[in-house]
Copies of this chain bind each other. A is one copy, B any other.
Amino acid sequence: MARSQARSLNLDRLLDEPVDWRYKSFPAGPSVPIRSVRARGWNVLSGEFMLPVMVLKDSALSHNIELMAKYCRDHDFLLAPHGKTAMSPQLLARQLEAGSWAVTAATMSQVRVWRAFGVDRVILANELVEPASVRWVASELRDDPEFDFYCLVDSVAEVRLLEAALAGTALDRPLQLLLEVGPMGGRTGCRTPEQALEVARAVASSGRLALAGVEAFEGVITAKSLAGTIDATDAFLDDMRAVVVKLDQAGHFAKARRVIVTAGGSAFPDRVVARLGQPWDLSRPVALVLRSGCYLTHDAIHYQQLSPFGGRIPDTGPLQEALEVWGVVLSLPEPGLALIGFGKRDVPHDLELPVPGFVKSGAEKTRPIGEGVAIFAVNDQHAYMRLGPREQLRVGDMVGCGISHPCTAFDKWRLIPVVDDGYNVIDAVLTYF
């Protein structure tokens, strides 16, 4: 199934895309199509690129994709990676080739992107309340019998909106819904079993809708400590499990062949596996689905601290950082201060700022940056870097940084070079935000 999806992704039109002035950082000169980027022989640190540049490390990508695929296989979970992280058909193709069961989307515009490439199973991990979006997905479902689509529901009001919008379509199969549960103080989702049952009853009363399972996103839960967050996450997942059982006992999965139970970002997939992976005793088979997105590239701080791989799950080893941003030292205007040529337009700044790791000075070899060097502020196009007492940089030096939060890194780049371990450009991937 996954492999047939992979083959159906038509990437040809992307590979014909000319690499030109529309794509920041790529070298000037005659444009080449993306399919010829490797043959062009660029190296991002050899001085041809106009910094800043964000690179994707191919070896880390492959490592992470294979690690997560194996983890899911080993625990009988399906994987519907959250495509919103990278919004890159070329990267999704690699995830599908590695066995992913579906793609997850956050908005209907994202669903449109995936449909443009023929992805035939999509979970919209969000409520669907706009009539035009309902009508569009109904037309996609009607035109393509293979298209398997799920969206979330957490209110009777949404059920009524869905019914009303579907009434104007010729869709001949029910729209599949996942009932969303959410923690108190959290994001979307029913807060109590009673609310969940009320919504499920409204779904059951509609001939146009079918309850296909239960969904949650545990990643909105935070406590004062990691241990506290894990405890709260476990308790929430146990509550979710109880809701699934209640809905099944009340017959609300009557129209479903199997019950989909899905949760899991990239911070606590291990807790999802631990609490939802235990045996179920429902009226129908259960399909367990993880929806991690950021595992694809991992990062230098946020997921580095939270990811279970190599820590809470010691046997897998850790994920590897696949994203790196390089900027140039523009100025050293005061002792101990360097201004680097990237900013809010280039790097994530919503969780933590980039973490300097490497320096390349002219033709010299790349070396680790001195201890204590840190970026402490960013403007739109500049970063402020405090130098330690032992780090001497020169104007024009290139500084390589890890990033925190892949989701706000990808959306700042429309075309990203994929590099081998020597920073040779072997591919380039487009994003669609």
Q: Are A384 and B187 in contact (CB under 8 A)?
A: yes
Residue in B24, B47, B184, B188 whose CB lies within 8 Å of A132: B47
CB neighbours (8 Å) of A189 from chain B are 331, 333
Q: Are A396 and B129 in contact (CB under 8 A)?
A: yes
Please tell me the number of chain A residues within 8 Å of chain B, measured between CB atoms.
74
In the complex, A136 Cα to B29 Cα: how many Å? Answer: 8
Whether A381 contacts B109 by the Cβ 8 Å rule is no
> Given B21, B127, B186, which contacts A115 in the complex, CB threshold below 8 Å?
B21
The reply on A352 being an interface residue by CB < 8 A is no
The DSSP consensus for interface residues of chain A is: loop
Give the residues in chain B near A408, CB-CB below 8 Å.
344-345, 380
Q: Which of B133, B345, B407, B414 makes the CB contact (< 8 A) with A50?
A: B133
Expressed in whole angstroms, the Cα–Cα distance for A332 and B20 within the complex equals 45
Whether, in the assembled complex, A190 has its beta carbon less than 8 Å from a beta carbon of chain B, the answer is yes
Q: CB < 8 Å: which of B52, B115, B394, B407 contacts A157?
A: B394
Q: Check: A59 CB closer than 8 A to any chain B CB.
A: no
Chain A 71-114 residues near chain B, CB threshold 8 A = 84, 106-110, 112-113
- Is A191 an interface position by the 8 A CB rule? yes
Q: Does A382 make an interface contact (CB < 8 A)?
A: yes
**CB-CB nearest in chain B for A164:** B396
Instruction: Give the residues in chain B near A190, CB-CB below 8 Å.
Output: 333
A432 interface residue (CB < 8 Å to B): yes
Q: Is A48 an interface residue (CB 8 A)?
A: yes
Distance, CA A185 to CA B334, complexed state (A): 8
B380 touching A157, Cβ below 8 Å: no
Q: Considering residues A25, A380, A414, which has the most beta carbons from chain B within 10 angstroms of its beta carbon?
A: A380
| A108, B50: Cβ atoms closer than 8 Å | yes
Does A228 make an interface contact (CB < 8 A)? no
- Interface residues in A110-159 by Cβ distance below 8 A to B read 110, 112-113, 115-116, 126-127, 129-133, 136, 154-155, 157-158
Of the candidates B50, B136, B339, B432, the one whose C-beta lies within 8 Å of that of A107 is: B50
User: Chain B residues with Cβ under 8 A from A344's Cβ?
Assistant: 350, 407-408
Q: CB within 8 Å of B: which of A1-41?
A: 20-22, 24-25, 27-28
Residues on the B chain within 8 Å of A381, using CB: 84, 106-107, 126
In the complex, which residues of chain B have a beta carbon less than 8 angstroms from the beta carbon of A25? 109
Complex contact A161–B129 (CB within 8 A): no
Roughly how many angstroms separate A331 CA and B153 CA in the complex, as a whole number? 9
Residue in B closest to A382 when the chains form the complex, CB atoms: B187
Closest 7 pairs between A and B when the two form their complex, measured CB to CB: A24-B109, A157-B395, A188-B331, A106-B381, A127-B330, A21-B116, A28-B136
Besides the contacts A129-B328, A157-B332, what 16 more A-B pairs have beta carbons closer than 8 Å?
A21-B112, A24-B107, A47-B131, A48-B132, A50-B133, A129-B395, A130-B328, A158-B396, A161-B395, A182-B333, A186-B333, A187-B384, A188-B330, A188-B331, A189-B333, A191-B333
